[in-house]
């Protein structure tokens, strides 16, 4: 184990303690929460080190930065595209990334469906909902969710496995709790509607500054960047 791997291992151990405690507070099973390492600011060698110390899930935000890393390590780990995805870039994501966390408009759904059909595969997506209502955040307005699901219900090559949201940047993580709770409520609401292409089992929410609150509200994927891959 090299020095960088030892550093990552120590950080993971500290994060693990905090995840365990959050799961205990909310009566959840530890295995129901998965860490996505957000690697947009690090090179491919760090991804190799993360995989070596047991991190399975890799999250990338920018396609142009992700593709060289994927070429090197794409056959290892599970890759998530977690950033805003331009419609014309969807063809580069389908077939490489296991999950797209940023489905937020019909044009993107149509393109993902088209690319999935061409590759004869179903694209696993997370519907991004702008719970906080911030204009600076991407995501579907809650008012548009039902219409979106109705319009995508005939797309045979996408399935919506989860929901994703971005919380506001706040000093106190408790101030973000309403966003995470709101997304969990949308999970229940959508499942009650019983769309065949949208069986919601996953919630992608919580980052380095607020992941414990997100876990308490039901997160199944937490997206950790600076707390895990920060410079020493």
- pLDDT at residue 133, rounded to an integer: 87
Which of 41, 46, 44, 47 has its CA nearest to residue 62?
41
> Which pLDDT value is given to residue 1?
76
Place of tokens 């993902």: 112
The rounded distance, in Å, linking the Cα atoms of 26 and 7 is 29
Q: What is the dihedral of CA 39, 85, 151, 214, to 10 degrees?
A: 30
Looking at residue 201, its pLDDT comes to 98
- 81 bridge partner residues: 60, 100
Residues of the chain scoring pLDDT < 50: 232
Task: Read off the pTM.
Answer: 0.96
Q: How many helices (H) and strands (E) does the chain have?
A: 9, 8
For the chain, how big is the Rg over CA atoms in Å?
17
Cβ neighbours of 61 (radius 10 Å): 20
**Angle CA(11)–CA(12)–CA(17) in degrees, nearest 5?**
100
Pick the closest to residue 183 from 208, 165, 206, 209 (CA basis).
165
| Max CA pair span of the chain | 51
> Cβ(129)–Cβ(139) under 8 Å?
yes
> Comparing C-alpha atoms, which of 7, 1, 21 is closest to residue 231?
7
Structure tokens at 183: 């997304």
Q: Residue 117 class from Cβ within 10 Å (0-12 exposed, 13-18 middle, 19+ buried)?
A: middle
- What are the DSSP E strand ranges found in 20-176? 34-38, 57-60, 78-81, 99-103, 123-128, 158-164
9-31 pLDDT tens trace: 999 999 999 999 999 999 999 99
* Beta carbons of 112 and 125 less than 8 angstroms apart: yes
Pairing between β-strand 34-38 and β-strand 57-60 as defined by DSSP bridges? parallel
Say if residue 159 is exposed, middle or buried (CB neighbours under 10 Å; 0-12, 13-18, 19+). middle
CB 189 within 8 A of CB 154: no
Q: What is the DSSP letter of 174?
A: G
Per-residue confidence (pLDDT) for residue 232, from 0 to 100: 44
Distances from the Cα of 211 to the Cα of 136, 166, 197, angstroms: 21, 11, 28
């Amino acid at each position: 184990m090299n020095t960088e791997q030892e550093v990552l291992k120590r950080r993971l151990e500290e994060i693990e303690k905090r995840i365990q405690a959050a799961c205990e507070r909310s009566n959840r099973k530890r295995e129901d929460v998965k860490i996505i390492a957000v690697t947009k600011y690090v090179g491919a060698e760090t991804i190799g080190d993360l995989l070596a110390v047991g991190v399975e899930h890799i999250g990338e935000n920018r396609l142009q930065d992700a593709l060289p890393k994927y070429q090197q390590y794409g056959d290892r780990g599970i890759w998530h595209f977690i950033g805003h995805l331009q419609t014309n870039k969807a063809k580069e994501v389908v077939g490489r990334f296991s999950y797209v966390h940023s489905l937020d408009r019909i044009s993107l759904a149509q393109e993902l469906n088209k690319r999935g059909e061409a590759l004869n595969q179903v694209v696993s997506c997370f519907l991004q909902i702008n719970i906080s209502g911030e204009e600076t955040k991407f995501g579907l307005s809650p008012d548009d969710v039902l219409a979106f699901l109705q319009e995508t219900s005939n797309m045979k090559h996408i399935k919506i496995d989860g929901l994703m949201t971005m919380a506001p940047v706040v000093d106190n993580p408790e101030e973000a709790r309403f966003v995470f709770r709101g997304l969990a409520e949308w999970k229940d609401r959508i499942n009650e509607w019983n769309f065949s292409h949208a069986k919601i089992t996953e919630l992608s929410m919580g980052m380095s500054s607020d992941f414990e609150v997100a876990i308490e509200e039901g997160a199944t994927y937490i997206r950790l960047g600076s707390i895990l891959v920060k410079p020493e």
